[in-house]
């Protein structure tokens, strides 16, 4: 504070000197015309030249005093170009920075450079050697990523709680409604005359459906640098891991083999395949034929499943027998949640490409069971190899099983036509 007050006092005194000088110049100029005539007579040209010389001298003195006022404190000599390292001394800068970072004393010229006490000549941030190395980098806490598909069919399946013990196999009894038994599971209804014998009666049959939770898991690797320098790494990874797990479960619900994993409805014996009208196309009659074969009993929680890239252009241009677009009535609902013939469409990356069997599916996932087991557990692997590499492997494991509980399509009372909650368009 004392230095700043001293600078203010010095500046005030300099201004007072300048003011006095200017006043003296004004007094000198006043009455100049009379003195010139007395001294030079009618030779005004010589008088004008003398006045110009005095003016130039006075302006030079004024400029010099202004420069003295604005001269940086402590500057007693011309600044050293490039902080004293010279034009080609960037190697010396790096060497001194490295030595200081290892505990050595920082040279005076390096400290002056750091504090900006010397004049910076020809320094820019366009290139590292010209000063860009002193521009501190910035990092955002946001993790850029492509968002995952928020539509997951696993939420439409029937979920069975874990129970106790959580990983134990669970068995359900179900009516055997396969083959000619139909929806009523073999219950025989008859008409007969009084006292007549009833023959060829059948009795209801039961099936058992068992689910045994199996281990499932996901893992990812992080470095010790990312863990130490990015405290929010866990929060950034969480949606990515959750999305990967949800997408994997959806894949197994559709395409699982049943061997140590879900049994997908695409390969179950209850699925019905509908022949398509034209190869590599989706036509209105294909959609109608699929709707005709659904099992209408139950909640009717049906959805169409397909991929967006190949199927959306086909679906949005479907026309009925009169040549009218059938999508137009649903266009107001928008692409994110469209409907086809009143049935919601779930777009996903798992469905096959256009022209492949199953490129369009119509399913009711009330008939798909998921048995929960032991909940998710997060574990860390910091073995010797990971320790040497400065890495850490994180793994999350959980247990569950899934399958359809209907084992075959159901035959209607006509004895010929079949229906199912799992309809697929054939190749």
Across residues 347-367, what is the average pLDDT? Answer: 93
Across residues 131-160, what is the average pLDDT? Answer: 69
Please check whether residue 392 is in contact with residue 386, taking contact to mean a CB–CB distance below 8 angstroms: yes
- pLDDT over 70 for what percent of the chain? 57
Burial of 386: CB neighbours in 10 Å, binned 0-12, 13-18, 19+: middle
DSSP symbol at 323 = S
In the chain, where the domains are located:
1-23+48-66, 90-134, 148-427
Across residues 34-57, what is the average pLDDT? Answer: 66
DSSP string, 346-371: EE-SSSPPTTSTTSSEEEEGGGEEEE
- pLDDT for 114 beyond 70: no
Across residues 370-390, what is the average pLDDT? Answer: 81
Which of the residue ranges 122-136, 139-153, 398-412 would you say has the lowest mean pLDDT? 122-136
Query: From CA 236, how far away is CA 139, in angstroms rounded?
Result: 14
Burial of 71: CB neighbours in 10 Å, binned 0-12, 13-18, 19+: exposed
* pLDDT number for residue 78: 41
* pLDDT number for residue 56: 76
* pLDDT number for residue 79: 45
Res. 118 pLDDT band, cuts 50 70 90: very low
* pLDDT number for residue 373: 92
Please give the residue that has the higher pLDDT: either 146 or 259: 259
Residues β-bridged to residue 377: 397
Whether cis (ω within 30° of 0) applies to the bond prior to 165 is yes
Q: pLDDT of 381-397, one tens digit each?
A: 777 677 777 788 888 89
Most confident of 41-45, 87-91, 358-362: 358-362
Query: From CA 50, how far away is CA 101, in angstroms rounded?
Result: 65
Q: Which of 295, 289, 335 is nearest to 315 (CA)?
A: 335
Across residues 6-29, what is the average pLDDT? Answer: 60
Please give the residue that has the higher pLDDT: either 367 or 19: 367
């Amino acid at each position: 504070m004392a230095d700043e007050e001293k600078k203010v006092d010095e500046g005030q005194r300099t201004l007072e000197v300048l003011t006095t000088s200017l006043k003296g110049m004004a007094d000198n100029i006043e009455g100049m015309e009379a003195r010139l005539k007395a001294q030079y007579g009618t030779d005004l040209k010589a008088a004008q030249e003398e006045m110009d010389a005095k003016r130039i001298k006075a302006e030079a003195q004024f400029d010099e005093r202004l420069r003295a006022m604005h001269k940086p404190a402590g500057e007693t000599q011309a600044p050293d170009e490039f902080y004293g390292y010279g034009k080609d001394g960037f190697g010396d800068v790096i060497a001194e920075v490295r030595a200081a970072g290892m505990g050595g004393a920082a040279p005076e010229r390096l400290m002056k450079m750091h504090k900006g006490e010397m004049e910076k000549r020809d320094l820019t941030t366009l290139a590292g050697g010209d000063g860009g190395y002193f521009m501190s980098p910035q990092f955002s806490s946001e993790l850029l990523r492509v968002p995952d598909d928020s539509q997951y069919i696993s939420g439409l399946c029937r979920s069975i709680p874990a129970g106790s013990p959580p990983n134990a196999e669970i068995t359900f009894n179900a009516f055997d409604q396969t083959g000619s038994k139909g929806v009523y599971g073999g219950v025989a209804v008859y008409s007969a005359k009084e006292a007549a014998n009833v023959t060829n009666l059948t009795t209801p049959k039961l099936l058992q459906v068992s689910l045994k939770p199996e281990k499932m898991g996901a893992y990812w690797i992080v470095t010790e640098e990312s863990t130490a320098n990015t405290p929010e790494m866990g929060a950034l990874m969480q949606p990515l891991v959750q999305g990967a797990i949800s997408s994997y479960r959806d894949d197994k619900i559709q395409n699982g083999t049943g061997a140590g994993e879900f049994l997908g409805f695409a390969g179950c014996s209850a699925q019905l395949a509908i022949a398509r009208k034209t190869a590599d196309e989706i036509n209105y009659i294909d959609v109608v034929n699929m709707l005709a074969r659904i099992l209408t009993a139950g909640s009717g929680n049906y959805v169409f499943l397909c991929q967006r890239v190949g199927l959306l252009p086909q679906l949005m241009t479907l026309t009925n027998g009169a040549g009218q677009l059938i999508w137009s009535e649903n266009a107001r609902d928008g692409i994110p949640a469209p409907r086809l013939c009143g049935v919601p469409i779930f777009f996903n990356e798992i469905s096959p490409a256009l022209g492949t069997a199953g490129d369009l599916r119509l399913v009711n996932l009330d008939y798909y069971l998921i048995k929960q087991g032991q909940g998710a557990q997060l574990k860390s692997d910091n073995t010797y190899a990971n320790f040497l590499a400065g890495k850490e492997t994180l793994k999350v494991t959980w247990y569950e099983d899934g399958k359809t509980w209907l084992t075959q399509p159901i035959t209607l009372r006509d004895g010929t036509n079949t229906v199912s909650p799992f309809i697929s368009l054939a190749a």
